[in-house]
Amino acid sequence: MSDPLRLGVVGLGRGFALSARAIAAHPGLRLVGAADPDDESCRAVQGAFGGRIYGDIAALAGDPDIEAIYICTPHHLHRDHALTALRAGKHVLVEKPMAVTLAETHAMIDAAEAEARQLIVGPSHSFDAPVRLAAEMIAAGAIGAVKMIHALYATDFLYRPRRAAELAGDLGGGAVLGQAIHQIDVVRRLAGVPAQRVTARTGGAWDPARRVEGAYAMLVDFDGGIFATLTYSGHGHFDGDRLMEGISELGIRKPDRHRATHPRLHATADEAAARRARRFTRLEDCPQPETHEHFGQVIVFGTQGDLRLTPEGVELSDAQRRSFHPAPITTPRAEVFDALYAAIRHGRAPLQDGAWGRASLEICLAALAGARSGAVQPLQFQR
């Protein structure tokens, strides 16, 4: 990686903070510009990475030195920010979910095509090294034909300090756009074929104090008769990391105790301020993973064996034996920036391109619609 990519970033909140160490450590990247309305965050990034700071996406996109822009702004701003970047000739890496509506994704994909720029959606947990290893093992025939996929996770998503938009369904808040998108990405990658339809339930907003869905269950049908169940709660009660060897979503070993998210939130006088406190401050304060990231319990059932994903690799159980296959050690999220580099420097677009991001968002939106109506939802942007 002799010619590092010159990267800009817009949105210096939690999403960026979670990727900052991977960016800093990546030999193929240099963060040369950052934009955010919050001056303090801008100065913090400049302190950590050097580079130039801007007040908004338009100014950032006008920096001729920047080749690609990483969009970490709130979900409902993704479309406008991506279009601004693409039309200024920048490649785009946009956080999941790619956008909030399908119309927004169409515009983003069209713009990327018109400008002949790369459009990549990530990070998402489909990039995690154990997911990639599992997909490779499946492709190599380790479990015969994939038949059924199971995914379960339970977090405290809904009760971490939140901005108002994160609790507003029409702005892309809620567990489906914010969290199912990961599970769907992972399950799609492992199924390896297009989804056909989704049957989903959320039960609406379980807590009148958090007026958005915080949980869901889905049954997704794929081509070839593959089916998947996805179950998730972000209500902060049962801790799904206990099914993942006590390792958090971000790859950090946790003490075996109740995480007490609710009492902490109740003790918080100013939730918005608490949310701001989770923005990027210093590299040293960003989470430091010890294993790969994960998104909870995932088991793939095949005709000849089953795979269980762990934070450190893949466990294969077939007719004869159980074996553990460690995923190559990397910096978590390095995979995402490897993909960005390969796309731009070598023209090799990753799986998680605009069409991929649209397909995953379509499943989320169909799940929300199906949860409201009770009906099975067909899908049309999966190919």
Q: Which of 96, 125, 160, 235 binds a second copy (CB under 8 A)?
A: 235
Of 82-90, 100-108, 224-232, 361-369, the segment contacting a second copy by CB under 8 A is 224-232
Q: Which 258-277 positions form the footprint of a second copy (CB under 8 A)? A: 258, 260, 262-263
Contact range with a second copy by CB under 8 A, out of 85-93, 132-140, 257-265, 352-360: 257-265
* Minimum distance from residue 209 beta carbon to a second copy (Å): 11
Candidates 299, 342, 349, 351: give the one binding a second copy (CB under 8 A). Answer: 299
Q: Residue 341 burial by CB count (10 A; 0-12/13-18/19+): exposed, middle or buried?
A: buried
User: Within 13 Å and on the Cβ side, how many CA atoms surround 357?
Assistant: 33
| Residue number, 269 or 319, with CB nearest to a second copy | 319
Q: Does residue 101 belong to the site contacting a second copy (CB under 8 A)?
A: no
Write out the DSSP string of 9-20.
EE--SHHHHHHH
CB of 94 to a second copy, least distance (A): 30
The reply to whether 319 sits near a second copy by the rule CB under 8 A is yes
C-beta separation of 127 from 106 below 8 A: no
Tell me: does residue 207 bind a second copy (CB under 8 A): yes
Rg (CA), the chain: 20
Comparison of 23 and 316: residue with beta carbon closer to a second copy: 316
d(CA 339, CA 28): 11
Q: Which stretch binds a second copy (CB under 8 A): 46-54, 110-118, 119-127, 202-210?
A: 202-210
Q: Which of 206, 276, 345, 349 binds a second copy (CB under 8 A)?
A: 206
Question: With b meaning 16 or more CB within 10 Å and e meaning fewer, what string describes 282-295?
Answer: ebeebbebebbbbb
Q: Is 175 a binder of a second copy (CB under 8 A)?
A: no
Contact status: 24 vs a second copy (CB under 8 A)? no
- 85 belongs to the binding site for a second copy (CB under 8 A): no
Smaller CB distance to a second copy: residue 171 or 366? 366
Among 139, 284, 320, 373, interactor with a second copy by CB under 8 A: 320
- Any contact of residue 317 with a second copy (CB under 8 A)? yes
Distance (Å, rounded) from C-alpha 293 to C-alpha 179? 14
CA distance 297 to 152: 5
Query: Which stretches does DSSP call E strand in 146-252?
Result: 146-154, 195-201, 215-222, 227-233
Strands 297-302 and 146-154: antiparallel
User: How many Cα atoms occupy the beta-carbon half-sphere of 317 within 13 Å?
Assistant: 6
- Minimum distance from CB of 127 to a second copy (Å)? 24
User: Would you count residue 378 as binding a second copy (CB under 8 A)?
Assistant: no
Judged by CB under 8 A, the residue of 95, 185, 293, 306 near a second copy is: 306
Q: Is 237 a binder of a second copy (CB under 8 A)? A: yes
CB of 304 to a second copy, least distance (A): 8
Contact call for residue 157 and a second copy (CB under 8 A): no
Cα–Cα distance between 339 and 197 in angstroms, integer? 29
Task: Please report how close the Cβ of residue 14 comes to a second copy at its closest, in angstroms.
Answer: 22
Q: What is the DSSP string of 341-369?
A: HHHHHH----SSBHHHHHHHHHHHHHHHH
Shortest gap between Cβ of 55 and a second copy (angstroms)?
40
Burial 84-118 (b: 16+ CB within 10 A, else e): bbbebebbbbbbbbbbbebebbebbbebbeebebb
Q: Where are the alpha helices (DSSP H) in the chain?
A: 14-25, 39-49, 57-61, 78-87, 102-115, 129-139, 175, 181-191, 261-266, 271-276, 334-346, 354-373
Contacts with a second copy by CB under 8 A: the residue count is 52
Q: How far is the CB of 315 from a second copy (least distance, A)?
A: 8
Q: Which residues bind a second copy (CB under 8 A)?
A: 143, 145, 147-148, 150, 152, 154, 199, 201, 203-204, 206-207, 215, 217-219, 221, 225-229, 231, 233, 235-239, 243, 257-258, 260, 262-263, 299, 301-306, 308, 317-322, 374, 376
